[in-house]
Structure 1
Amino acid sequence: MFEANWDLDTLRVFLHILGAAVWMGGQVIVAALVPALRRVGPEATQAAAQQFSRVAWPFFWLAVLTGLWNLLAVEFEDAANSYHITLTIKMVLVIATGVAAWLHTKATDRRRIAMMGSLSGVASIGAVLVGVAL
């Protein structure tokens, strides 16, 4: 029989998933919109990217902070070695998506903008995948 569990753990996990969903999902949506925005004009692409940034970064930090909160709930001495390895991979991917996204915002040439945006997107998808495995 199913029993609903409304407690602080539920809130913590919900906020973590919300942060990751907006960060990763937003990157996928923006990447899909870029070709259409370019047809409108370069200012449209830049305006959309700036607006996305205003929304995405707070959700990135929500995911990071709730991720740290999640770690407080783990009994590390009881966790299997595979858990530690998977967690390390996830942390590397989270750092990679954040750093690549930040570098994407600082880039000035199209090649570097595309490369850092793609790296951030792939790393964020990887972080979500590895997070599900945890």
Structure 2
Amino acid sequence: MLSPTAETIRLFLHVIAASVWVGGQVVMVGLVPQIRKTNPDAVKAIANGFGKIAWPAFVVAVVTGIWNMFEVDAGGWAAYQVTLGVKIMLVATSGVAVAVHQFGRSKVALAVGGAVGFLAALAAMYVGFILTTGR
């Protein structure tokens, strides 16, 4: 059996945290409309419970993402650096938009924040795969 390394631990933590952030949003997109039909009062409690898991996962993904940046030698490779910049922008957009969704009071803030946060998170994950396979 191959031995674990700092690299495999770093990548595992990054992928699992991103999976919780993005995958949890996928689950919420599927569950919330159903819950709203049967028990509308439960939606806020379920969303708050998800937030207690999702936000720490987001922090772990950001921290391990920064760690990843220090470990990859992309000096002089403009395409990689541009792609990384796009991913960073998408991650930031996701975090800000989800915060707007979570703390917004209007229907517009809830809808736009949730949709933009989710789509940016999906796109960030996809761009992450481009980064890992494009080298």
Range of TM-score over shorter length: over 0.9
The partner residue of 2:19 within 5, 18, 21 is 21
- Runs (4 or more) in structure 1 with deviation over 3 Å come to none
Q: Deviations over 1:46-94 (max 9, x none)?
A: 111000000100000000000000011022325x211011000000000
Q: Deviations over 1:71-127 (max 9, x none)?
A: 11022325x211011000000000000000111111112232011101000000000
State TM-score, norm by structure 2.
0.92
Aligned-pair identity in percent equals: 37
Matching residue of 1:84: 81
Matching residue of 2:93: 96
In structure 1, C-alpha distance between the alignment counterparts of 2:3 and 2:83, rounded to whole Å: 26
Q: How many residues align?
A: 131
| Unaligned ranges ≥5, structure 1 | none
State TM-score, norm by structure 1.
0.93
| Unaligned ranges ≥5, structure 2 | none
User: Any residues of structure 2 matched to 1:1-134 within 5 Å, and which?
Assistant: 4-78=2-76, 80-134=77-131
Matched residue SS, 1:76: coil
Q: RMSD value over aligned CA atoms?
A: 1.2
In structure 2, C-alpha distance between the alignment counterparts of 1:12 and 1:115, rounded to whole Å: 32
In structure 1, C-alpha distance between the alignment counterparts of 2:3 and 2:126, rounded to whole Å: 24
Deviating more after overlay: 106-115 vs 9-18: 106-115
